[in-house]
Amino acid sequence: MKKIFTLLTVCLFSSYLFADSGGPDGYGYTWKDSNEPGGPVYNWIDILSKPTATEVKLLADDNLRGPFYLNFNFHYYWYDVTQFWVGSNGYLKFNDLSQLAAPFPTVPSTELPNDYVGPYMNDLVFATPGDTAKCWYWISPSLDTLIVSWIGVPFWSAYPPYYSGSNTFQIILSTVDSSITFQYKQRTGTSPFGTCTSVGFENNSGAIGLQVLPYCTEPPTSYAIKIYHPQNPTLEVTDVEPYYIDNPGTGAIFLPQSSTPYPITAQIRNVGNTQVASVPAEMEIKDPSGNVVAIDTAYTDTLDPGESVLVTFFDNLIPSSLGTFKYVRVKTLLTDDGVPGNNNEKLEVVVVDTTQDEIRLGYDAGNTNQITTVNWAGVGGGAGMYFIPPFYPVQITKIHYYMYFGNGVPMAARVWDDDGIGGLPYTLFDSIYVDGSSITDFAWNDFTLDQPIVINSGGFYLSWNMLGSGQTLGSSTKDPFSHRSYEVFNNAFSPYRFNQDQDPMINATIEEYSFPTGTGTLSPSDLKIDVYPNPAQSEAYVIYEVSNHDENVWLRMTSLSGMKLLEMNLGKQTSGVKQVPVDLSGFASGMYLAEISCGGEKQICKVIVTE
């Protein structure tokens, strides 16, 4: 799917006039093609005939699926990768931070996303009615080879039938020699909008990589490229980064206004290939008025290449000031860091007044001045935002969209549960059809739900879906940014390509949900949970309290994405405070959720596990 830009560029396509080999990059990778003596021989491998081949489902337009597990270590640059994500636009990624979409980058680039291998990066599309696009992967029984094949995948088009052409190509990762091979079986047509093809790969910082074919060059068919890992690499890279703050992806958080300290944690990662001694990480907090209210420095132990550790800062965030904090920033201060561009990370924190009957959740800080727009060519596109309430249970009563230009066409305002794979949307709670004549331009458009939606745990998504062309949604360009934004095409969600510097302007209004009386269920005050110590290492105690109730009490531990890691039936409980030990020795460093449930109700507490 193509985003509409004010400035249009024209790609000039070359026709197979390129070198037969290339490199090295800064690390030592080189490549040869099947036209070069000593290069690879084109030999398409039909993985659909292999019994253990697996289909990559739910690919759509401009999206990413995964993680999928290799079950072996593939040596890429100076580090090993064990899982991968498949991009609909013809690439593999080794992390899920952002995705690749038109216009496609020249390689390498330190701009996100990084850490990918792209055999044919172009504006491709799956799941359009009438097309036969498929993607499958196969892992060899000997656990030394991964093959991913894109089969009959067309280019995206803004005009019916919304696709054109066809492309069949594959990528092969081999642990035998740490090589990467691209093979191109069939290709017809070109992108209707002149989107430039990019073929290349880059490392986890984007500082090193190779543009294998010249930008805007189309590879021929019955053609192969092999990328060779250096036999004796000599490059030494010192590079550490704050991988995330508070939660993977550094997603914005909502906190209730209070004087209760909120701990700040950060995952510090060694992404270089040299061991580093103790890494200083500086944390700074600016309140909504811009005042520095906390500065603290934490130190890691020695970090080996690829190793990461969760640090907890001594100073906490005190959420006593309402509004959006200017930032919670973590910066690594290693003096000989060779890639300083990834030394900063910012977390957006929004403090809300939970004593109000109605609580508005949004990431734009009320900004309507520093904005750009979201709009897509054609129809079916949209944008979405993810929200985790500051407490439970809540009910969603209203949803809000800042419409820049309605263009007289209708839209759909939708509410989704986060019960899909990896916490993505799956269950559609509600969908409101909005006639184009009722949309107000350059203003917030507010919609009241006919039936409030109750959220007891986790979060929810709101989406804006264009039901006609030429419609635009406002998008805030005011720092900080939530990293909880998505682009939507035919209800398939993928990380927004501009999530590092924009937030689509979508808000929600929530209210505290009170359980009906006389139903025999527990009220929120009858169910309490705490964890001690927190942060914890190998063991913690879950402390809980329930009223006298003739139903079983359950304890569950989950990841932030909802994956269940532990479940215990604590039996029927009488009144009073109880505690149960929980073995955390098998938990990696990070943040988790502890949940006590009884009588159909739940209470949840965040748990931080450290090494």
CB burial of 181-219 (b: ≥16 within 10 Å; e: otherwise) equals bbbbbebeebbbebbbbbbbbbbbbbbbbbbbbebbbbb
Q: Closest Cα partner for 90 from 187, 171, 179, 191?
A: 171
DSSP three-state, residue 340: helix
Q: pLDDT at position 7, please? A: 29
Q: What is the mean pLDDT of residues 81-105?
A: 91
Q: pLDDT at position 518, please? A: 37
383 has a pLDDT exceeding 90: yes
212 has a pLDDT exceeding 50: yes
Q: pLDDT at position 434, please? A: 97
What's the mean pLDDT when you consider all of the chain?
89
Q: How confident is the model at residue 575 (pLDDT cuts 50, 70, 90)?
A: low
Give CATH superfamily name and number for 240-352. Answer: Immunoglobulins (2.60.40.10)
41 has a pLDDT exceeding 70: yes
Domain 359-512 and domain 524-609, same fold? Reply is: no
CA distances from 135 to 121, 183, 381 (A): 15, 14, 22
591 has a pLDDT exceeding 70: yes
576 has a pLDDT exceeding 80: no
Q: What is the mean pLDDT of residues 525-545?
A: 78
Q: What is the mean pLDDT of residues 320-340?
A: 93
CA quadruple 193, 194, 199, 205: dihedral, nearest 10: -70
Q: Closest Cα partner for 557 from 599, 595, 611?
A: 595
pLDDT digits (tens, 9 = 90+) for 148-183: 999 999 999 888 888 999 999 999 999 999 999 999
Q: Where are the domains of the chain?
A: 21-228, 240-352, 359-512, 524-609
Q: What is the mean pLDDT of residues 278-298?
A: 96
Q: How confident is the model at residue 267 (pLDDT cuts 50, 70, 90)?
A: very high
433 has a pLDDT exceeding 70: yes
Specify which residues 204 forms β-bridges with: none
pTM above the 0.85 mark? no
CA pair distance 270, 261, nearest whole angstrom = 29
Q: What is the mean pLDDT of residues 451-462?
A: 90
Q: pLDDT at position 13, please? A: 34
Q: Domain 359-512, what fold?
A: Jelly Rolls (2.60.120)
CA pair distance 208, 557, nearest whole angstrom = 39
Q: pLDDT at position 526, please? A: 67
Q: pLDDT at position 404, please? A: 96
Contacts of 184 (CB under 8 A, 6+ apart): 119, 120, 168, 169, 219, 220, 221, 222, 223, 224
Architecture of domain 524-609: Sandwich (2.60)
